[in-house]
Amino acid sequence: MTLDQFFQENPKAALAFSGGVDSAYLLWAGLQAGAEVWPYFVKTPFQPQFELEDAYRLCEQLDADLIVLDYDILDQETVVSNPPDRCYHCKRWMFSKLKCYAASEGFSLLIDGTNASDDGGDRPGMRALAELEVRSPLRECGLTKAQIRELSRQAGLFTWDKPSYACLATRVPTGQAITRDSLEKVERGEDALSRLGFRDFRLRLTGGGARLQLPEGQLELALARRAEILAALEPDFSEIALDLRPRVPID
């Protein structure tokens, strides 16, 4: 099956839209196929502001109206307690909310940007999608992340080389309660590091501080900009460590 065929068979769908590579290309493909695809962005404290800004930018590029649903996931104890299957509980809650809202606007089909490179056996959140009957056209059509990036580049989408991004909750160690304060600290820190020129990195919380994980090519930059990193992070973190094992980006 091709995406064109998918949208011929399903000409009306609500799209769980993150502003990332996959959902951006899926929105473009749906609109190109002449389908009625509405992008919905679920805004919670787990999503950083730049993701919402990218979502608006992409929708403006495609002349699509972005619907933003603002929910406070920190009310959900099964999520904020941060168990090993937190992602399942999070996805189940968010997509239930989204599916209900989309249905109220006349959409019986909800789709998302899961692609053929995503390993279902390693992603508890995908179990929640299956239970809620959320369909993943990119995965169904066998499109891998590398293919989606190239197709996005050909389509002129600025998201084509955007690094994959996991929500802010992934920076908190499993078993440690997720708080609004900890999420805000991580977001401030990652924003500051981005302004210093770092890309495709993670700032992970430790007992009393943070550990910076960088791709191998940026380790020297971290040492060169050590004073600036400390100045940016010390207001929020008592301890700041650099992981000497390079981060291997997972696309």
Assess if residue 110 is contained within a domain: yes
Asked if residue 136 has pLDDT above 60, the reply is yes
Q: Does 251 have pLDDT greater than 70?
A: no
Flag whether pLDDT at 137 surpasses 60: yes
- The 10s digit of each residue's pLDDT in 157-173 is 999 999 988 999 999 99
Q: Average pLDDT, whole number, for the chain? A: 94
Average pLDDT over residues 114-126: 76
Say what the pLDDT of residue 159 is. Answer: 97
Q: What do you get for the CA distance between the two ends of the chain, in Å? A: 23
pLDDT on residue 248: 84
Provide mean pLDDT across the span 196-215.
94
CATH, residue 97: 3.40.50.620
Model pLDDT for residues 55-90, shown as the tens digit of each residue:
999 999 999 999 999 999 999 999 999 999 999 999
Place of tokens 């020297």: 220
pLDDT level of residue 208 (50, 70, 90 thresholds)? confident
- Indicate if 18 and 74 belong to the same structural domain: yes
Kindly state whether residues 11 and 126 are assigned to the same domain: yes
The whole-angstrom separation of Cα 175 and Cα 238 is 21
Q: What sign results for the dihedral spanned by CA atoms 51, 57, 63, 68?
A: positive
Average pLDDT over residues 13-19: 96
Residue 249 resides in a domain? no
CATH code (residue 185): 3.30.70
Six-digit token string for 223: 């040492």
CB 110 within 8 Å of CB 121: no
Q: Using the 8-state DSSP alphabet, how is residue 201 labeled? A: -
Q: Find the mean pLDDT for residues 118-123.
A: 64
Question: What pLDDT was estimated at residue 121?
Answer: 54
**Residue 132: which residues within 8 A CB-CB, separation 6 or more?**
92, 95, 96, 99, 110
Same domain, 192 and 89: no
89 and 151 assigned to the same domain: yes
Residue 128 tokens read as 């929640």
Q: Are residues 188 and 127 located together in one domain of the fold?
A: no
Look at residue 196 in the predicted model and tell me its pLDDT. Answer: 95
CB–CB of 102/12 below 8 Å? no
Residue 142 gets the label, from left (phi > 0), alpha (psi -120 to 50) or beta, of left
* Type and span of the H or E element at 116: none
| CA distance linking residue 73 with residue 188, whole number of Å | 20
- Given a contact cutoff of 8 angstroms between Cβ atoms, the answer to whether 110 and 95 are in contact is yes
Q: What pLDDT was estimated at residue 125?
A: 77
**Residue 39 · residue 15 · CB < 8 Å:** yes
Q: Do 147 and 68 sit in the same domain of this protein?
A: yes
pLDDT for 62? 96
CA distances (Å), origin 227, targets 62, 221, 222, 240? 41, 11, 9, 12
> Given a cut of 90, is residue 194 above it in pLDDT?
yes
pLDDT exceeds 60 at position 122: no
CA-CA distances (angstroms) from residue 74 to 59, 85, 156, 246? 28, 16, 37, 32
The answer to whether position 174 is within a domain reads no
Which secondary structure element, helix H or strand E, spans residue 161, and what is its range?
none
Total structural domains within the chain: 2
In 35-111, where does DSSP find H-type helix?
49-61, 77-80, 86-104
Inter-residue contact 93 to 119 (CB < 8 Å): no
pLDDT tops 70 at residue 177: yes
Quote the domain boundaries for residue 101.
3-161
Is 208 buried (19+), middle (13-18) or exposed (0-12) by CB count in 10 A?
Answer: exposed
Residues 6+ apart with CB under 8 A from 40: 14, 15, 16, 17, 66, 67, 68, 69, 98, 101, 102
Q: What percent of the chain has pLDDT over 70?
A: 98
